[in-house]
Amino acid sequence: MATAIDEAQTRYLAELVSERKTIWVFLMTGIRLVGTVTSFDQYVIALQSIEGPQVIYKRAISTISEPFVRYETRTDDRKISRRKRARLTR
């Protein structure tokens, strides 16, 4: 009997296959794989990457994520924005 978590996982993976989105797959060991999901079943996910096709056991996956850009702020930028904010409130 399929649980709600299994159904959500199946819907998400089916969406990734149909849209052919590039994703990041983080393994339990900390390794990041980049590619598109070509197919999946109850135990494995097939990933097409630059290196070629890869089959990954679901139990070895920690996280699946869409790529994102991390924006880092400098402390100088925060000080400038506080100064500007102080001028606007006067």
CATH code assigned at 59: 2.30.30.100
Residue 65 domain boundaries: 4-89
pLDDT at 53: 94
- What global pTM score does this model have? 0.69
Tally of domains within the chain: 1
**Hey, which residues does 65 pair with through a beta bridge?**
24
How confident is the model over 27-80, as pLDDT tens digits? 999 999 999 999 999 999 999 999 999 999 999 999 999 887 776 666 555 555
CA-wise closest residue to 44 among 32, 31, 60: 60
- Dig out the tokens for 56 from the structure: 């990954």
